A and B are shown apart, each in its own frame.
Chain A
């Protein structure tokens, strides 16, 4: 007779295999990293550029410049770019983040010879046509109007502003900023940003030799007169810790709490990842168990460590019933206090270790995910030994060390606390 109360035996994960990126240089020294794996005849090619400048008077330049890459070049209109890419069943994606801006091509291998030249056009010959620019700015402005009606969006804006002030990391775009974007400024920023000295190419998928040859042929002689400058983010944290925005009609309040910490390059970061998991980093976390699964105050609550090239921070976020906002804050404070005073029980810590190992293993699903892991390292100047150490930390960090980290980084009085809705 099958005894269903007894859990089947299970194994610890000990071995995690990373497919390491192989590097070569194009003739003009652009580094190309290849992660070659997979069965599907397709490839992802990312062109990544470090953000090189930001000014408060023109806060939208980097992001608009990135999005507008698809909107027209000397020889192709926006509609032609879109038609060509769509015709070959390919996708492209622009992405602007705090540290980098990128243009990514997803293409079937059999069409790379047709799709890659379009990417070259966008990176080397964009003209930011006035008509498309106006359409884009107007639509973004409309989108922001809708976003500003969402409590969670307002909370995130207010939180980032408190943490980083009016800097590239912290500035919350206003509707009027869209009126200040000028074509001439975009062209100048484009020259300064999108050039071979500031470019990294990452190729992942089932990579064919011809694809690499196309890269050399199209981008190997790309040149520039621009010299790379040092860029300081110039973070200016707010003195004031408490920020609330009252919304009398709110059914729920958005909560966002957190503090500046360290980024991936700091030796404490790996331990903080384990500590964060215990508090709010997975479905079984203490915050979820208490605030969702025991009290039913929310649909979800979570916490995370965010790593940026020039900063790191920790935050907790949730949307809770407006009547239980205060009670939720009390519970969050209580959970943090427990981690600072008591040791995490062995059984819970063992579960979190296994969960994190499974999660790391599961995050290496295909060539794209291996390439993403490489990016986590490369843009922080780290090597693959980082992951060896991370695995060591997951397996070996003890409860005393975790409690010490909670005391070192999580002083609740110093947390920025943002509430949007009703308190």
Chain B
């Protein structure tokens, strides 16, 4: 159980407070409701590049990292297709420094040309390190545009291509800040050995004076229902053939999400899972295979990916994946199988509560989904899932005409 209190400043900033006196540390987490899905198709990768620029100095504070490190703190951030999340931890006694730093960069950045130039290079190197200079690194750059025709999920967080990052201008940076980085589009969580009244006072002092800005109204093109199978083959210098298979699925808060999430666990969580038992252990078709979903807020992706054993033909391996999916459609799962994945879900939740930072991030994330208390109650939606639900959603999900398959083959 993660306890919390919530208040909202006049400028629209939502603040959640989680008191946990078992730690001498405090966490300040700010989630901005902007991700790669909000980018202009001609300027992809921008939300992530912008995340880097948030560390390049703000209007009144030339360096973000240095003062934080001086008070014993650490920070980081990540960008996804849906959101951008910044977090820092520091000794509770120095909590005010966190408010000082975070409020100044919500007020305004320094918009330094030097910082933009350098971070463009850094992000281009990140692009190379993680997506281009790795075996299979570019698979999502290739697969996303096959799965999505209309929705901006068709590009990856890092962007479509290096040139989009290289071409970023300081005016674009300013406009992006104005549009997305203001109190109305943010959720702040403060956790640790803190008190509600103390957080209220600090929030009023440092964030209260920030103008509320304009509320960004999201209006994204929604993805049409797919009714034709898509298959593509790419060849690259990789040691093993691989298959990536994607199905569009309900968004994070839509009906069916918990059941489908549990389907991925039945297929691939742990060595007792179906894909491992049937396609790695008993019949060694794959050296590695897994199923997962992206947990996207809009229409998401259910993915099965596997690396093939030598001598196995890709099309045969593909049919064996289908066989596993078909069996979920035609046969009810065993009751023990469903209990098993629910137990695991429950246990993972407990282990997550060991970490203050995880708790703070989860509160912000669930608040974005609509209500922070989902962190405590969402489990009920999982426990309710029945054997019939699993079969129902497997049928809704897994059909040839709704599938997209990428064969990533060795040269």
Contact = CB atoms under 8 A, between A and B. Distances in A.
B25 A89 contact: no
Contacts of A2: 205-206, 209
Interface stretch (A7-15, A308-316, A405-413): A7-15
A87 B343 contact: yes
B238 interface: yes
B69 A351 contact: yes
A67 to B, nearest CB: 12
B70 interface: yes
Contacts of A106: 351
B129 A299 contact: yes
B344 A8 contact: no
A10 B97 contact: yes
Interface residues of B, number: 82
B94 interface: yes
A38 interface: yes
Given A4-B107, A86-B272, A361-B24, A354 B281 contact: no
Interface string B328-367: 0000000010011101111110110111100000000000
A142 interface: yes
Interface stretch (A56-64, A162-170, A228-236, A287-295): A287-295
A267 interface: no
Contacts of B67: 7
A138 B379 CA distance: 38
Contacts of B126: 299
A319 interface: yes
A33 B25 CA distance: 26
A362 interface: yes
B60 A358 contact: no
A42 B352 CA distance: 11
A366 B355 contact: yes
Instruction: Give the interface residue-count category, chain A.
Output: 35 or more
B212 interface: no
A382 to B, nearest CB: 23
B72 A108 contact: no
B128 interface: yes
Contacts of A200: none
B22 interface: yes
A149 interface: yes
B200 to A, nearest CB: 16
Nearest to B65: A284
Interface stretch (B113-121, B292-300, B314-322): B113-121
B354 A366 contact: yes
A89 B118 contact: no
A355 B72 contact: yes
A38 B354 contact: yes
A13 B92 CA distance: 10
Interface stretch (A76-84, A213-221, A372-380): A76-84
A150 B135 CA distance: 7
A365 B287 contact: no
B340 A79 contact: no
B91 interface: yes
B120 A296 contact: yes
A39 interface: yes
A13 B133 CA distance: 42
B133 A319 contact: yes
A90 B72 contact: no
A353 to B, nearest CB: 9
Interface string B56-85: 000111000111011111110000000000
Contacts of A297: 121, 125
A201 interface: no
Interface in B1-50: 22-25
A296 B356 contact: no
A149 B135 contact: yes
A83 B272 contact: yes
Contact of B270 (A82, A298, A354, A361): A82
B271 interface: yes
A138 B74 CA distance: 42
Contacts of B261: none
A89 B343 contact: yes
B368 interface: no
Interface string A334-366: 000000000000000011101101110110111
A91 to B, nearest CB: 8
A365 B356 contact: yes
A283 interface: yes
B72 A361 contact: yes
Nearest to A360: B72
A89 to B, nearest CB: 3
B403 interface: no
Interface in B193-250: 205-206, 209, 237-240
Given A11-B93, A251-B128, A354 B69 contact: yes
B343 A293 contact: no
Among B73, B133, B239, B348, max chain A CB count under 10 A is at B133
Contacts of B94: 8, 10-11
Contacts of B60: 4-5
B339 A250 contact: no
B159 to A, nearest CB: 14
B387 interface: no
B260 interface: no
Contacts of A251: 128, 132-133
A151 interface: yes
Contacts of B346: 89
B74 A358 contact: yes
A139 interface: yes
B100 A8 contact: yes
Interface in A117-143: 132, 135, 138-139, 142-143
Contacts of A108: 347, 350
Contacts of B399: none
Given A5-B61, A351-B69, A135 B281 contact: yes
A246 interface: no
A139 B344 contact: no
Contacts of A351: 66, 69-70
A135 B351 CA distance: 31
A40 B100 contact: no
28 contacts: A4-B100, A5-B61, A8-B96, A10-B96, A37-B22, A39-B353, A70-B271, A79-B281, A87-B343, A88-B347, A89-B345, A135-B281, A138-B284, A138-B309, A142-B287, A143-B287, A148-B239, A149-B134, A251-B128, A284-B69, A292-B122, A293-B118, A296-B119, A321-B121, A351-B66, A352-B69, A365-B354, A366-B354
Which 6 pairs, one residue from A and one from B, show the smallest C-beta to C-beta distance? A358-B72, A296-B121, A89-B347, A82-B271, A82-B272, A89-B343
Interface of B: 22-25, 59-61, 65-67, 69-75, 89-91, 93-94, 96-97, 99-100, 103-104, 107, 117-123, 125-126, 128-130, 132-136, 205-206, 209, 237-240, 269-272, 277, 280-281, 284, 287-288, 307, 309-310, 336, 339-341, 343-348, 350-351, 353-356
